[in-house]
Amino acid sequence: MKWALAGGVVALVALPAVLSSYALTLFILIFFYGFLGQAWNIVGGYAGQLSAGHAAFVGVGGYTATMLSIELGLTPWVGMLVGGALAALLGAIIGYLGFRFGLRGFYFVLLTVAFAEICRVAVSNIDALGGPLGLYITFTGNPRQFQFQDGRVYYYIALALMLLATLIAWAIERRRFGVYLAAIREDEAAAEALGVNAFKYKMLAMVVSSFLTGVGGTFYAFYLFSLQPNTLFGIPLSVEIIIRPIVGGAGTLFGPILGSFILTPLAEISRRYLGQGGLYGAHLIAYGVLLIGVVLFLPEGAYPRLRRALARRAGATR
Amino acid sequence: MDLTLVVQGVLSGLLFGGVYSLMAVGLTLIFGVMRVVNFAHGDMMVWGMYLAYMLATRAGVDPYVSFLVCAAALFALGLLVQRGLVDRIVDAPHEMQILLMLGVALVLENVALLAFGPEPTRVRSPLASATLWLGPVFVDVARLVTFLVAVTLTSALGAFLYRTDLGRTIRAAGDNTYGALVIGTDVRRVYAVAFGVGAACVGAAGALVSPILPFQPSTGLSLSVASFNIVIIGGMGSLLGAFVGGLLVSLAESLGAVFLKPSLKELFSFSLLIVILLFRPAGLFGRRSA
């Protein structure tokens, strides 16, 4: 397992040498959505608190770094940490409101959706933030401005982000923190009865998750050179963030990554071919059918199933 | 601030609130009976709107008549979704149910997008341009009729749930599923009827609001969010809460549009939501155990 993992990372590092520019873009998106999915996985998967408004953190992070860069000339390399911190603050506020009374899962879902919508409406109405049209970043190609002539740099940054989030998830999983989160997810009342401070650990998971997602917002903004409230804070982005770890396997280390490798190419290819034919919603219909199918037939996600299948084969050949 | 403007805002807010109430009553009924949050609620409502649109453009039926057809069609859709999908996961964790309904929402919205395109439309009705003057303030006749029909339907639903045997059975199955099973209730049938009735509410609400509110496939999402807002404010599972919450949220949005600007109106209702969650998390009429 360890060797396969190391081999996989080495292969991904070497890969840009042979990729076409379209394939490079595809991989950047796979890594980036894998990163966002992994960040969500910490609170949504391990802690089992289904946030349906993670786009809010992408938006806060992206807008913060962009505004700091435009208004104060602060490099996005620092701005992304400030954006992450502000996103974490928002995460803490939402978490406090949602977890305070130990309200059942769906309240949290609705609360996160509502907060993301509040942010979207608010940002759309603040002229200093560009209003409904949003902000545009002029391309300078200056690495200090988080802009690169060579697409491969974005590839490595996205890969590093995904690996970083996975490392954090791995560290959480191995520690007592991860065990507490699993206990809270499976049976919160029982966990509390055993002395686990559910509020504290859910808050922690939320803050870590929203910080990472906020950092991702900077990458998103500076990779696309533009920020619109409807895309950055919108519910569709939240769905994109959720669906990959769920399909891959929420609460597992490799679920979000596997989910992104399955879904991102699917989404991009159907967007490219069906969207050009004027069939706008086609890839979202596929998403919907996939979600329904996963819930009904594969509720634990693809990764646990894959792992069992591999283990069986290993057992058979031995 | 001109007082007439405020009175006008209150009036049109309350009148529009009837539709919000009907929509939220449908959501809270489904939730109260099955403990399932219908994330496709707003998208079902949009299908009610498009159905009214097709009936108006193809067959020339006024939405104030066709709302009955739309309600019946959505009843069938709700029944189908419940029997085919929700029924299999009624006992699954909430997350799974939410994801399933999110899947249904995505399918409904984007099938509408494929079928009708992204441009906003509106259903023409001769009533829509008529106004009544009450001294200095005017009443939109379409809004008045919509309000009256919506309130009548909501009251009829209340009477159904509290005065008829089937209605009592539905409430019983929601209060205590196990107890209802013990006394021989066909809970699966009750669930199917409840989901159907909940969907019929938005079918009617969609048709009724179609001459007033321009709509497009993506409208469903904001309607879903608005109905979640309302039922949390009113108290999840409470019919009275959904009714009062609908009027309140509509009033808040209308006054928000008067005092601030129209594009900020949602901010008002969301602030209301946060205040409720801070001080009365079970909602205005909710029970703590919900």
Q: Does residue B24 surpass a pLDDT of 80?
A: yes
Residue B29 · residue B197 · CB < 8 Å: yes
Tell me what pLDDT residue B145 has: 87
Instruction: Kindly determine whether residue B103 and residue A280, on different chains, have CB atoms separated by under 8 Å.
Output: no
Mean of the per-residue pLDDT values of chain B: 87
Residue of A nearest to B283 (CA): A107
Give the domain range for residue A145. Answer: 18-234
Residue A12 in any domain: the answer is: no
Instruction: Kindly determine whether residue A295 and residue B103, on different chains, have CB atoms separated by under 8 Å.
Output: yes
Cα–Cα–Cα angle for A108, A114, A119, rounded to 5 degrees: 130
Residue A282 in any domain: the answer is: no
Q: Which of A127, A186, A283, A285 is best to mutate for the B interface (most B CBs within 10 A)?
A: A285
Instruction: Kindly determine whether residue A106 and residue B273, on different chains, have CB atoms separated by under 8 Å.
Output: no
Tell me what pLDDT residue B289 has: 46
Tell me what pLDDT residue B272 has: 83
Instruction: Kindly determine whether residue A289 and residue B270, on different chains, have CB atoms separated by under 8 Å.
Output: no
Would an 8 Å CB–CB cutoff place B91 in contact with chain A? no
Q: Does residue B48 surpass a pLDDT of 90?
A: yes
Residue B101 · residue B40 · CB < 8 Å: yes
- pLDDT tens figures, A106-159: 778 888 888 898 899 899 988 888 888 888 888 887 888 888 888 889 999 999
Residue A29 · residue A268 · CB < 8 Å: yes
Q: What is the mean pLDDT of residues B283-289?
A: 70
Q: Does residue A103 surpass a pLDDT of 80?
A: no
B175 band by pLDDT with thresholds 50, 70 and 90: confident
Instruction: Kindly determine whether residue B229 and residue A296, on different chains, have CB atoms separated by under 8 Å.
Output: no
Would an 8 Å CB–CB cutoff place B109 in contact with chain A? yes
Q: What is the mean pLDDT of residues B73-97?
A: 88
- The count of domains in chain A is 1
- Distance from the B28 Cα atom to the nearest Cα atom in chain A, whole angstroms: 13
More confident residue, A14 or B250: B250
Instruction: Kindly determine whether residue A289 and residue B273, on different chains, have CB atoms separated by under 8 Å.
Output: no
What is the identity of the amino acid at B115? A
Tell me what pLDDT residue A166 has: 95
Q: Does residue A278 surpass a pLDDT of 70?
A: no
Residue A5 in any domain: the answer is: no
Tell me what pLDDT residue B290 has: 39
Would an 8 Å CB–CB cutoff place B54 in contact with chain A? no
Distance of alpha carbon B102 from alpha carbon B43, whole angstroms: 10
Residue A189 in any domain: the answer is: yes
Residue A311 in any domain: the answer is: no
Residues in chain A within 8 Å Cβ distance of B110: 280-282, 284-285, 288
- Distance from the B268 Cα atom to the nearest Cα atom in chain A, whole angstroms: 9
B181 band by pLDDT with thresholds 50, 70 and 90: confident
Residues in chain B within 8 Å Cβ distance of A124: 263
Tell me what pLDDT residue B223 has: 92
Cα–Cα–Cα angle for B182, B29, B198, rounded to 5 degrees: 115
List the structure tokens of A259.
């989910």
- pLDDT tens figures, A172-199: 999 999 999 999 888 888 888 888 888 9
Residue among A101, A280, A299 whose CB faces B96 most closely:
A299
Residue among A109, A285, A294 whose CB faces B107 most closely:
A285
Would an 8 Å CB–CB cutoff place A109 in contact with chain B? yes
Would an 8 Å CB–CB cutoff place A274 in contact with chain B? no
Tell me what pLDDT residue B45 has: 96
Residue of B nearest to A281 (CA): B110
Tell me what pLDDT residue A99 has: 85
Residue A4 in any domain: the answer is: no
Would an 8 Å CB–CB cutoff place B273 in contact with chain A? yes
- pLDDT tens figures, B182-202: 887 788 888 999 999 999 999
Mean of the per-residue pLDDT values of chain A: 88
Would an 8 Å CB–CB cutoff place B98 in contact with chain A? yes
A78 band by pLDDT with thresholds 50, 70 and 90: very high
Q: What is the mean pLDDT of residues B143-169?
A: 89
Q: Does residue A314 surpass a pLDDT of 90?
A: no
3-state secondary structure chain B: CCHHHHHHHHHHHHHHHHHHHHHHHHHHHHHHHHCCCCCCHHHHHHHHHHHHHHHHHHHCCCHHHHHHHHHHHHHHHHHHHHHHCHHHHCCCCHHHHHHHHHHHHHHHHHHHHHHHCCCCECCCCHHHHCEEEECCEEEEHHHHHHHHHHHHHHHHHHHHHHHCHHHHHHHHHHHCHHHHHHCCCCHHHHHHHHHHHHHHHHHHHHHHHCCCCCECCCHHHHHHHHHHHHHHHHCCCCHHHHHHHHHHHHHHHHHHHHHCCHHHHHHHHHHHHHHHHHHCCCCCCCCCCC
- Distance from the B98 Cα atom to the nearest Cα atom in chain A, whole angstroms: 8
Tell me what pLDDT residue A317 has: 62
- Distance from the A134 Cα atom to the nearest Cα atom in chain B, whole angstroms: 15
Q: What's the pTM value of the predicted model, to 2 decimals?
A: 0.86
Q: Which of B44, B47, B90, B107 is best to mutate for the A interface (most A CBs within 10 A)?
A: B107
Q: Give the rounded percent of residues in chain A with a pLDDT score beyond 90.
A: 40
Q: Does residue A275 surpass a pLDDT of 70?
A: no
Nearest to B142 by CA among B132, B156, B155: B132
Distance of alpha carbon A196 from alpha carbon B140, whole angstroms: 57
Residues in chain B within 8 Å Cβ distance of A279: 114
Residue among A106, A132, A281 whose CB faces B37 most closely:
A106
- Which H helix or E strand runs over A25? helix A21-40
Residue among B89, B102, B109 whose CB faces A291 most closely:
B102
Distance of alpha carbon A161 from alpha carbon A260, whole angstroms: 14
- Distance from the A40 Cα atom to the nearest Cα atom in chain B, whole angstroms: 14
Query: What residues does each domain of chain B span?
Result: 3-279
Residue A112 in any domain: the answer is: yes
Selecting from 1.10.3470, 2.40.128, 3.40.50, 3.30.420, what CATH number does the domain B3-279 have? 1.10.3470
Tell me what pLDDT residue A44 has: 92
Residue among B104, B229, B236 whose CB faces A114 most closely:
B229
Instruction: Kindly determine whether residue B99 and residue A291, on different chains, have CB atoms separated by under 8 Å.
Output: yes
Would an 8 Å CB–CB cutoff place B181 in contact with chain A? no
Instruction: Kindly determine whether residue A52 and residue B273, on different chains, have CB atoms separated by under 8 Å.
Output: no
Instruction: Kindly determine whether residue B228 and residue A104, on different chains, have CB atoms separated by under 8 Å.
Output: no
Instruction: Kindly determine whether residue A295 and residue B96, on different chains, have CB atoms separated by under 8 Å.
Output: yes
Residue A147 in any domain: the answer is: yes
Top-ranked range on mean pLDDT: pick from A136-145, B39-48, B95-104, B255-264: B39-48
Tell me what pLDDT residue A35 has: 97
Question: Locate tokens 């919508």: which residue?
Answer: A117
Distance of alpha carbon A84 from alpha carbon A153, whole angstroms: 21
